[in-house]
Structure formats: C-alpha cells, structure tokens
C-alpha cells in the first residue's frame, strides 16, 4: 500500500510503498531510548519506493546494543521526531525502517509481531486493564 507521513512539526515529509502485514513492534532498549517510550512501531519500506518530499533528516549512526551493527537513525532536525533507520553511508538503500506513528495511514497499520520481547517493560501487556480517559485524565 501507499504510505505517506510527516514529522511532528511538518518539516520532513515522505512517501513510499509498504506491506501492512510487515508492521512490527520493537521492544529493544535502543528503541526505548530512541523514542523516549516503551517501544517503537516500524514498517519496512523498500529503498527504491521511498521518497523524501520535503526537509532533510539529521542522521545519527548508532551501533545497535545487541549486534553492534551500525544503523543510521534519521530524525527531524527541528522537532526531533524519529523518521526511519537504514544502512549508514551514501548511495541507494535496500530498505528503510519507517516509524509508523508518523504515517497518515497508521490507523490501518496494526502490528503483526513483537521483537525483542525479552526487553519489554513488564507492564506492557497489561495496558488494557488500566483506567481509560477519552481525553486528558
């Protein structure tokens, strides 16, 4: 399906093609600190289909905690929204791992699996039992 999205402030916008069956939640500690949250939601976008429409993401190369593999983490230089990760360096990319929370289509992109569950916060599966406020509680 066609996906498109933007960072929180709107400076960085992009589009691409992605398979909704490949959405995953990542509970790894890099994703926890990289989002400031408990987990990240990702969708792979093949490199040839990914296109930046506006803005230039800032890049930070992080050696992932477990494997040491370097990953280029792209985020908006103005608002800091995480946008995607990919292989570091110049040239065409095989794929981009795009952050689902930025996408206009996120309502249709439910996760299909959870990775690095051994690092998951212990309460993450119990959210359904917490009190729910329709707005700020």
Q: How far is the CB of 24 from Zn ion (least distance, A)?
A: 9
Q: Show the site string, 26-45: x = touches Zn ion by CB under 5 A, - = not.
A: x-x--x--------------
* Chain centroid to CA 25: 9
Q: How far is the CB of 97 from Zn ion (least distance, A)?
A: 9
* Minimum CB distance to Zn ion smaller for 49 or for 114: 114
Of 61, 79, 110, 124, the one binding Zn ion by CB under 5 A? 79
Question: What whole-number distance in Å separates Cα of residue 86 and Cα of residue 27?
Answer: 18
Q: Which two tokens stand for residue 81?
A: 């929204």
Residue 115, CA distances (Å) to 47, 92, 120, 129 in order: 22, 27, 9, 23
Question: What whole-number distance in Å separates Cα of residue 43 and Cα of residue 16?
Answer: 11
Q: How far is the CB of 56 from Zn ion (least distance, A)?
A: 11
Q: For Zn ion, which stretch binds (CB under 5 A), given 7-15, 17-25, 86-94, 95-103?
A: 7-15
Q: For Zn ion, which stretch binds (CB under 5 A), given 43-51, 70-78, 97-105, 121-129?
A: 70-78
In the chain, what is the greatest distance between 2 CA atoms, to the nearest angstrom?
48
Alpha helical stretches, state H, 39-108: none
Q: How many CA atoms lie within 13 A of 114 on its CB side?
A: 10
Of 3, 5, 7, 99, the one binding Zn ion by CB under 5 A? 7
Is position 78 an interface residue for Zn ion (rule: CB under 5 A)? Answer: yes
- For binding to Zn ion (CB under 5 A), which residues are involved? 7, 9, 11, 26, 28, 31, 76, 78-79
């Amino acid at each position: 399906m066609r996906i498109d999205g933007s960072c929180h402030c709107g400076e960085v916008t992009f589009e691409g093609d992605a398979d909704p069956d490949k959405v995953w939640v990542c509970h790894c500690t890099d994703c926890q600190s990289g989002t400031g949250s408990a987990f990240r939601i990702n969708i792979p976008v093949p490199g040839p289909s990914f296109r930046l429409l506006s803005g230039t993401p800032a890049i930070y190369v992080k050696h992932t905690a477990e494997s040491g593999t370097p990953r280029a983490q792209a985020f908006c230089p103005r608002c800091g929204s995480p946008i995607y990760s990919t292989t570091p360096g110049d040239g065409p990319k095989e794929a981009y791992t795009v952050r689902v929370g930025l996408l206009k289509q996120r309502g249709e992109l439910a996760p299909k699996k959870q990775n690095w569950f051994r690092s998951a916060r212990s309460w993450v599966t119990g959210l359904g039992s917490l009190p729910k406020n329709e707005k700020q509680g």
